[in-house]
Amino acid sequence: MKKWNLVIDVAKCFNCNACAVACHDEYCGNEFPGYAAGMPRLGARWIDIRQREHGQCPMVEVAYLPVTCNHCDDAPCLEAARDGAVKKRPDGIVIIDPEKARGQRQLVDACPYGAIWWNEEKQLPQAWPFDAHLLDAGWTKTRGAQVCATRAMRVLHVEDEEMQRIVREEGLQVLHPEYGTRPRVYYQNLDRYTKAFIGGTLAGAIGGVEECVAGARVLLKRGGQTLAETTSDPYGDFRFAGLDEGSGAYRIEIADDRFAPQAVAAELGRSTYLGTIALAPRAAARA
């Protein structure tokens, strides 16, 4: 049968919070029996936009990651629940029963993604229920996907085989696959948030004037092996993204017919900006 899935493109999210506000508008002060009790006015973000900064000035990237209930096929909250307080619907949606779950604070701790919130007033664990009450009424999108200005959120109602084909073709990922929970929330361009980069700026004398060096060939190497290649942009900048944090030593090699070859060592902990790399004229290299 067809099941519900959510795809979030990290590259398109710019922290407008429209999805979070729409979620708050839908659930704050509203009761949906069998689906969700009203969420608190303050202190709960069922759609939580997390932020991460990479690099050093002036080469800084900020990535935003919307995190919500992952509606896992092997949901830890389902195992931790008592008396049927959590149910997994045949269409893939996980529901925390707003009556049966009262007092079961262990559900908050059971979620490895931090996506279950404790409602102190109601003594109730709560999470985003995939707007199941709206989908059951005939909606084809969640409210967050409906209001997303950049279309960073996409709702797919497809069979599992079709969803796995989309995952392969679009290179989708899930948060923390090592948890083994089999989430139904997928991410595009997740590396923008989870990975690191090495970058720098090239400068050199062209016609006697110090300028940014555009179009230079830049190689990323490790252990004598070329891992990636790029060219510097009109501002002399280059960047190698998608690298594992803490992955250690790399070698940057720069080649341009106007300048002497140059190599720079880089040690990658978190994202690293190497600063301005001054290239020597090729004539100076021959001398």
**CATH code of the domain in which 30 resides:** 3.30.70.20
- Count up the domains in the chain and report the number: 2
Q: How many Cα atoms sit within 13 Å of 83 on the Cβ side?
A: 8
Q: What is the pLDDT of residue 277?
A: 97
* CATH code: domain of residue 207: 2.60.40.10
Quote the domain boundaries for residue 226.
Answer: 196-286
Assess whether 64 and 154 both reside in one domain: yes
| C-beta separation of 245 from 195 below 8 A | yes
Tokens of 125: 């664990």
Last residue of a domain, one of 131, 164, 193: 193
pLDDT tens-digit map of 64-116: 999 999 999 999 999 999 999 999 999 999 999 999 999 999 999 999 999 99
Q: What is the pLDDT of residue 284?
A: 52
Mean pLDDT over residues 112-131, rounded?
Answer: 98
Assess whether 61 and 162 both reside in one domain: yes
Q: What is the pLDDT of residue 208?
A: 86
φ, ψ of residue 31 to 5 degrees: the values are: -110, 130
Assess whether 171 and 41 both reside in one domain: yes
Q: What is the pLDDT of residue 287?
A: 41
Last residue of a domain, one of 193, 221, 250: 193
Distance of CA 44 to the CA centre of its chain: 20
Query: What does the angle CA 15 – CA 19 – CA 20 come to, to the nearest 5 degrees?
Result: 80
Assess whether 200 and 152 both reside in one domain: no
| Closest C-alpha to 86, from 66, 67, 111 | 111
Q: What is the pLDDT of residue 207?
A: 85
Q: Is the dihedral of CA 241, 242, 248, 249 positive or negative?
A: negative
Assess whether 17 and 141 both reside in one domain: yes
| C-beta separation of 164 from 182 below 8 A | no
Assess whether 40 and 170 both reside in one domain: yes
